[in-house]
A and B are shown apart, each in its own frame.
Chain A
């Protein structure tokens, strides 16, 4: 049991993140939903860059595209790009304090949203609203807690 949990910890955490990403929410909180998939992917990329990097991000992006009904490839491109930046700099980022990391994750989330907006803008004519960037702030605020919980899981299950 413990062994199989250990093997599938990453997959399970990503599935939970995908579910949180599409879970119906009251209309008041909905615009502030953090990018759960990005948060979880970012943690695993920093912790285990050998196991989770661009490929996993690409696949998750595809699932996200199907779940959210965007054109296939939009989220996968944005996620691959952001996770590439993280994976290329993981040694530097690991040495930052959690709040510095949160700031960097926020910046990357902003890039993620802008890339998605830009691609969507190319495909359909949508206009930019500042509300689209609320998730950047919440993602930043959620990073320390996400980091703590996932680190606890990783250490307890000895995922490597």
Chain B
């Protein structure tokens, strides 16, 4: 048998070395922010593996789309056209309202809200790490994605970019236990923080005094505080308010507006003061 490796350090010393290195890395990674630059390189290094792992699912998707009948395509087309007409009607009204709002804001002397630039990204893989809720998307630093960037789907806030690689990035979902979104209630502008619960379909709102005016069915939108999420995007809907007077705070639960378990196409936002701007030919500029 090949004995070249048996001459190396003994097994136990290797274990000790591996453990020491791991602990050192854990401390460096968890406690030092400067380590995130190293992670960009590491993420880019393993991205071929991720694209490879994504391949079978992609092929299945392609096969299923190749097998759709003309009938289904026509139905889909009709449905989308209908949706498009309805949405453009709403957009017309929205344009009018926005102009009116801008005018009123200038009259009041408050700053006009700047436009947000956007880009469509596609979901690559959902992580199978059970301890945290993250997803991978197919856009990275090459497209101008930056750490802390807000991500949404067609219904509301999904999460924020947590790590970037050159062509992929990792998004932390709002349902993760380590995530919190500053929100306000749309009805009465009460400010709150919605934290993740670790379960995809539930958010928890902590530290709500019993006297707060909050009801089941209230819509939560981002408040724009915290400088990560721009103001006014839907986050969730209150599903339960438990006012147990024996506890210091009311227990409030919400349901995320975004469909976190069936994401496919996502929207990346670049607020006006973002550290980077989008770099891509497919950047969507929907403004008139």
Contact = CB atoms under 8 A, between A and B. Distances in A.
A131 B43 contact: no
Contacts of B208: none
Given A21-B128, A160-B1, A119 B26 contact: yes
A50 B1 contact: yes
A72 B49 contact: no
Interface string A127-150: 101011000000000000000000
Contacts of B288: none
A15 to B, nearest CB: 7
Residue from A22, A33, A50 with most neighbouring chain B CB atoms (10 Å):
A22
A126 B198 contact: yes
Task: Indicate the member of B22, B24, B30, B125 with the most A CB atoms within 10 Å.
Answer: B22
Interface stretch (B50-58, B68-76, B183-191, B241-249): B50-58
Nearest to A76: B22
B162 A77 contact: no
Given A69-B127, A77-B22, 9 more contacts: A19-B49, A25-B128, A50-B2, A50-B6, A51-B5, A67-B46, A72-B42, A80-B22, A81-B19
B15 interface: yes
Contacts, number: 138
Nearest to A126: B131
A101 interface: no
B18 A54 contact: yes
Residue among A23, A54, A72, A81 facing the most chain B CB atoms (10 A cut-off): A72
B177 A73 contact: no
B163 interface: yes
B142 to A, nearest CB: 18
Contacts of A69: 127, 129, 132, 134, 162-163, 170
A158 B83 CA distance: 62
Given A66-B42, A68-B127, A72-B29, A84 B11 contact: yes
Interface in B1-56: 1-3, 5-6, 11-12, 14-15, 18-19, 21-26, 28-30, 35, 39, 42-43, 45-46, 49-50, 52-54, 56
Contacts of B279: none
Given A66-B39, A125-B177, A24 B57 contact: yes
B261 interface: yes
A24 B25 contact: no
A22 B53 CA distance: 7
Nearest to A68: B129
A58 interface: yes
A48 B11 CA distance: 14
A129 B198 CA distance: 11
B116 interface: no
